[in-house]
Amino acid sequence: MRTLLFFISIIALSGCSASHYLKREIDRSAVLSQQHTGVSIAKINEKKVLASYQGDKYFIPASNTKLFSFYAGLSALGDSIPGLEYLEWGELLIIRGTGDPSLLHSDLPHSKVFDFLKNRKDQIFFTPYHFENKRFGPGWAWSDYNDYYQAEVTAMPIYGNIARFKGSPAGQYQANPRFWQKSMVQDTTVSGIEREELQNVFHYPKLADSQGITKDIPVHMTDLLTLQLLSDTLKKEIKLINIPLEIDLQTVNSIPSDSLYTRMMQVSDNMLAEQLVLLYATANKLPLSSEKAIAHAIEHHLADLPDKPIWKDGSGLSRYNLFTPRTIVALLQKIYAKVPQERLFKILPAGGKSGTLKNLFKSEQPFIFAKTGSLSNVYNLSGYLITKRGKVLAFSFMNNNFTKPTADVRKEVERILTGVRNKY
């Protein structure tokens, strides 16, 4: 009996010591002293929290929001992405987008949707009737329309809804797709490529960037432009018809789901995350509406989280998003239960090895597999930590409202989590 009580006390002290270590290191940190910090850590498959520091407080998650979009995708999609829905009507083919971002996307595998459309002999019509989103999400910075990370949201993206410019040996820019070459205007007043806000005219400086350097500039998308780009690439005319399709449609799958998840997580691709939320809507027979998709996901898959998520977009660009660290940890538990560890750790950035964690947590074997989340005055890291004893922990370390350099905050997160790895 005494032996049993001894082991119980040791386990209890272990939990207390983890929380004590966390509080001590955060309170003593000169870097973290004037900001808002919240941390929650739990062993995998255990509801009891191992350590917490303001784990029940709400924080702006930035790209940690992508963990919610990832789980929504896991809950609704199979091994392949539904790339296109269509109706055969006599000699006509009527198509509509599913939100799939892979069509002619330079950084994703070749989409089977392209082959399907290329090989059809029918007259093809595209309907955007079911698309209810605006081009930007709630709370996005409209002045960021020219920045690579804020591509517009559409029913059927093409080329990732961006124009890619690459510096050439002649000191000029080459556009991909070539469609945009004619829309470039030399301008001595700009230092980089700047698009006019409401039309696709790209101003560029006299000398291009060094050869091989690429710049991605979001395109101002319309339904007609989508069809222009698609027609130009397919070498056949695609026409617009704005009608509802209230019957069962056939589906063409495009790419493996994991290829989308991995790209989204590794480089923190906002466009892919936004479109993934629309794919969730398609899978649940909803209109293409981020708001309706998120409400559905919360009701049907996330109602058991400790604190209700304030979830507004797919990518985390919106500062309206608010999650607590313990809620993110609960979500990580749900993800881990749904995806085998080997597969999951290939999708997430690995410390010292890949993605946004390539230069952090360096060791012989990665022990951190996690999603970063950064905005101005925001740096978060949430994911999985493998301790020296081989235990897998789910953690969320959230930092908001700091004025010190993000690099300093990042180093403190690295230091404290490395201590958790070594001690527990």
The string of pLDDT tens digits covering residues 303-329 is 999 999 999 999 999 999 999 999 999
| pTM of the complete model | 0.94
**pLDDT higher than threshold 60 for residue 161:** yes
Residue 208: the pLDDT is: 73
What does the pLDDT look like over 94-139, one tens digit per residue?
999 999 999 999 999 999 999 999 999 999 999 999 999 999 999 9
Burial class (CB in 10 A: 0-12, 13-18, 19+), 407: exposed
Q: What gap in Å lies between CA 13 and CA 190, rounded to an integer?
A: 61
Tell me, what's the pLDDT at 300? Answer: 98
Model confidence at 13, pLDDT cuts 50, 70, 90, reads: very low
pLDDT reported for residue 168: 79
**pLDDT over 70 (residue 16):** no
Radius of gyration of the chain (CA): 24
Q: What pairs with residue 186 in β-bridges? A: 204
pLDDT at 169 over 80: no
The residues spanned by each domain of the chain are 2-61+322-423, 81-255
Q: What is the pLDDT of residues 253-288, one digit of tens each?
A: 999 999 999 999 999 999 999 999 999 999 999 999
Q: Are 343 and 335 in contact (CB under 8 A)?
A: no
* Closest to 155 measured CA to CA, from 96, 112, 199: 96
Span 67-106, pLDDT tens digits: 999 999 999 999 999 999 999 998 899 999 999 999 999 9
Task: Go through the chain and tell me how many residues it has.
Answer: 424
Specify the CATH superfamily of domain 2-61+322-423: DD-peptidase/beta-lactamase superfamily (3.40.710.10)
pLDDT at 15: 45
386 C-beta neighbours (distance < 10 Å), count: 19
Cα(332)–Cα(296) distance, integer angstroms: 19
Residue with tokens 């979830």: 311
Percent of the chain at pLDDT > 90 equals 88
> pLDDT by residue (tens digit) across 269-278?
999 999 999 9
What lies within 8 Å, CB to CB, of 224 at 6+ separation is 240
Token pair in block for residue 152: 């517009």
Binned at pLDDT 50, 70 and 90, residue 228 comes out as very high
What is the pLDDT at residue 172? 82
Q: What DSSP state is assigned to residue 65?
A: G
| pLDDT for 70 | 98
Query: Are the C-beta atoms of 251 and 81 separated by less than 8 Å?
Result: no
Determine whether 406 is exposed, middle or buried from the number of CB atoms within 10 Å of its CB (0-12, 13-18, 19+): middle
Cβ-based neighbour number of residue 78 at 10 Å = 10
State both tokens at 325: 């660290």
Segment 366-393 mean pLDDT: 97
Going by pLDDT thresholds of 50, 70 and 90, the confidence category of residue 220 is very high
Q: What phi, psi does 423 have (nearest 5°)?
A: -95, -30
Band of the pLDDT at 10, cuts 50, 70, 90? very low
In angstroms, the first-to-last Cα distance of the chain is 26
- What is the CB neighbour count within 10 angstroms for residue 110? 13
Q: Are residues 141 and 184 in contact, defined by beta-carbon separation less than 8 angstroms?
A: no
The whole-angstrom distance between residue 187's C-alpha and the CA centroid of its chain comes to 34
Question: What three-state secondary structure class fits 353?
Answer: coil
What confidence score (pLDDT) does residue 162 get?
98
Helix (H, G, I), strand (E, B) or coil at 295: helix
Give the contacts of 420 (CB within 8 A, at least 6 positions apart): 18, 21, 22, 41, 51, 385, 387, 393, 395
To the nearest whole number, what is the mean pLDDT of the chain?
A: 94
- Please work out, in degrees rounded to the nearest 5, the angle formed at the alpha carbon of residue 290 by the alpha carbons of 289 and 291: 90
3-state class (DSSP) for residue 360: coil
Q: What is the pLDDT of residue 149?
A: 97
What is the per-residue DSSP string for 129-156? Answer: TTB---SS-TT--GGGTTSTT-PPP-SS
Orientation of helix 112-119 relative to helix 223-234, angle to 10°: 70
The pLDDT value given to residue 14: 44
